[in-house]
Structure 1
Amino acid sequence: MILGSPPNVDAQSIWLRTRSAVSGAQYPRRIDYTIALSGLDGSVLKVDHYGASCDPNGPIRVFAMSDEGLAAPPQVPHGVNVFVTFSVSEGRGAPASVALPIGHAAPSADLLGEPVLSPTYMFGLDYPVRNNHAPIEASSLKTIAVVAAASPEYRVTLIDVPVVDGMPAYHLELTPLRRPKENRLRELWVRTDDYLPLQAIVAGNFTAAPLVDVPWLVNFTTIDGAPYISRESAMSSLYLAHRRIVRNAVIAFENIRQWDGSIYGKPLVSPETDDNSLTEPNNK
């Protein structure tokens, strides 16, 4: 359903109001949630759930194994391991033997890698220094607008005013003016009442290929006046290593809630990230 474009609405003004609204959001000191990864791994639907916790703009803690991995741990492989053995000699002394395995390392048991993700990631909608503890004063809004206008990241166009999830929304088209790999927003739908995001299309997601090479649809939810990512859906198939193809990939954030102060439950740690980790870039 399209409501049409209201008169006297400036797209750049909507964009600046959205950035101010997101930057002024107040989050709990610590947030608990579940990360659900799902997709068709070949022809098999795979779903993994990971317990996680984060401090907004701070560390992310994730349990090392998914709930499904704990319930059915992977079997220890049996059989014959094939190695190539050869001798090397450098200078004086007896030669040493080196054994190298033949073939490639086994694919990761995780569908898309270990998810080290936060639902408060905002794709650059928030300003570099986000005020999580107090509303932004009117004088601050003027300063923010001047800074943003001095070095714009996008050309912003108002496309229409549709209804999204039962709410009227401003539908913006965003064309990056610089650093398109970092400024990944391409379309954005924001609420007409409080300017918080409803959904977005981004040109690439996370930090590694092929996830950075396909568009993603991002859905947001609002909890106690603050925006959170609810789900991120790949809009194309993902062609991974080991000839692995994942279709309909979705990363969902479930059961988002304030930390209850409990020190019991799963041991959550801030993992060391590597090429197999599912992470967002540092620029928010």
Structure 2
Amino acid sequence: MATHVSSQLPQTPRHKPPPGPRLAPVMAAGRPGVGNNMTDTRAKTILKEAVDAVVDSFAKHTHGYGRVNVVEALQEFWEMKQARGIELKCGALVGYESVPSALPPYICYVTLPGGSCFGSFQNCPTKAEARRSAAKIALMNSVFNEHPSRKITDEFIEKAVADALQSFQGSAEESDNPSTGIGAFRFMLESNKGHTMLEFQELMTVFQLLHWNGSLKAMRERNCSRQEVLAHYSHRALDDDMRSQMALDWISREQEILGVIQAELSKAEDELSTARLAGRELRFPKEKRDILLLALSQIAPNESCA
């Protein structure tokens, strides 16, 4: 197996990887297990109402009270951020990706300038409607991300770490131990004070992928320290070179265990679909799917498709 220098933060084997940050609270309505008495239909209704409310509010502040072109509004939002001096490494252009399909419902993904990804969360009868649906959820999260509560502060860190300890049933001592998942999570948060949660999510996606890809074990075996891992990857963008290396790792696994890529791809696609319909940020599951499709295209070109 290829052992590209890549890893999640160092952890002891018994610990789970650090949890990812949560985005807008209304997203919880679409999460499995949240609100035992809430039906899927009700959760989707709440999500749609919340998204429409934010989009309408943004429209009133930028376009007056008429019907808003949400695709244009999302682009304008990021252009405004750039005009205010916010550094965007790849510019302010918002990217869209439609999933090839001959029949509805159509699916579209939107990638924001920083790398965060969202998808159409409704059953869309046309490709244009799928693009608007994706733009709506992305605009909602973009606007919500500007709220002071989404800035990483000391108070925010303490709350996030406490939530992680409860979710992972950890002990208080773990949060101060950088070799544990919770301790690494705290270190990452403290290293990103002043940033927003979307910015932090973009960074965390890299480390989540490196953990998922199995590179953590290779890093531990080479005795790489937490500081070395962070120094190497905290400022490195998730690019084609990194994706290609991860795909090679999965091709190596396929040579050892026949069918492992297809099995992992099925899980990634289910995860992506569930997260998309719930209105959640999608970069992690979408990157997993794309990396696995890339690996599959190298060993079975006729079987892989986006």
Interval of TM-score (by shorter of Structure 1 and Structure 2)? under 0.3
Higher share of residues assigned strand? 1
Q: TM-score, normalised by structure 1?
A: 0.26
TM-score by length of 2: 0.25
Larger Rg: 1
The structure carrying a bigger helix percent of its residues is: 2
